[in-house]
Amino acid sequence: MAHELDHVRLPLSVITTIDLARVCRELNDLDEFLLQATLRKPGTPMQLPRLSKMLDDTATINKVNLLEDKQRKTLITVLAIAKDKAPRLHISFSAEPSPLFITKISEFIRKNIDQIALMQIGLQPTIAAGCVLRSSNRQFDFSLRKRLRESRPILVDLMGKIQDVSQPVSVKVDVK
């Protein structure tokens, strides 16, 4: 099964587990439609269902002709395996990232980690800035909150060296 996943690729339009499930469902619906079309009386008018950009991109990047039964069935099988086996990363940000930013992160992860990696984007306002990345077995905290927590002893030491400015200071101001 692992060798089947070596050749499958996901387009950048398919980022999350939900996106992949949507592509799988749409591909199964298309397969069912084409199966029913073979059972119809020849000459019966029919119109192919519209394909989403995600399914079209998936077929294009994998060089699959969706009208070819064997290629379509192979893609259905491989995507079902990918849905179960693809590495999943959860990335939390303090604010909603832009779609362009998510696409760039997805592109980086697919080039450097795994070409079928899926992401889930979450919000966690308490991290202030940066992000927290979780996989199935590791967590990486790249947040400002963690950095400040690690730097706390240094900050406390520096604050202790500063003069106590809470004492009132008298300043003469000449008003003419």
Q: What is the per-residue pLDDT for 132?
A: 87
- pLDDT over 70 at 174, yes or no: no
Q: What is the per-residue pLDDT for 83?
A: 87
Per 3-state DSSP, what percentage of the chain is helix, strand, and coil (rounded to 5)? Answer: 50, 10, 40
Q: Residue 61 CB: number of other CB atoms within 10 A?
A: 16
CB 122 within 8 A of CB 94: no
Residue extents of the structural domains in the chain: 2-85, 88-161
CB 46 within 8 A of CB 102: no
Higher pLDDT, 102 or 171: 102
Question: Collapsing DSSP states into helix, strand and coil, what is residue 26?
Answer: helix
Widest distance between CA atoms in the chain: 103
Going from the C-alpha of 19 to that of each of 42, 52, 90, 165, the distances in angstroms are 35, 11, 15, 56
Confidence of residue 146 (pLDDT cuts 50, 70, 90): confident
Q: What is the per-residue pLDDT for 145?
A: 74
Q: What is the per-residue pLDDT for 170?
A: 55
Per-position DSSP letters for 73-108, written without gaps between them: HHHHHHHHHHHHHS-EEEEEESSPPPHHHHHHHHHH
Q: What is the mean pLDDT of the chain?
A: 81
Q: Percentage of the chain with pLDDT > 70? A: 88
- The pTM (predicted TM-score) of the whole model is 0.71
Going from the C-alpha of 129 to that of each of 51, 88, 126, 138, the distances in angstroms are 38, 22, 9, 20
Closest alpha carbon to 58 in 111, 102, 14, 117: 14
C-alpha–C-alpha distance, residues 102 and 123, integer Å: 13
Confidence of residue 167 (pLDDT cuts 50, 70, 90): low
Tokens coding 87: 């590495």
User: pLDDT of 53-97, one tens digit each?
Assistant: 999 998 888 898 888 889 889 888 898 888 888 889 999 988 888
Tokens coding 99: 């779609």
User: pLDDT of 2-14, one tens digit each?
Assistant: 445 567 888 888 8
Confidence of residue 136 (pLDDT cuts 50, 70, 90): confident
C-alpha–C-alpha distance, residues 55 and 48, integer Å: 14
Q: What is the per-residue pLDDT for 37?
A: 79
- Among 98-112, 129-143, 162-176, the range scoring the smallest mean pLDDT is 162-176
Q: What is the per-residue pLDDT for 25?
A: 93
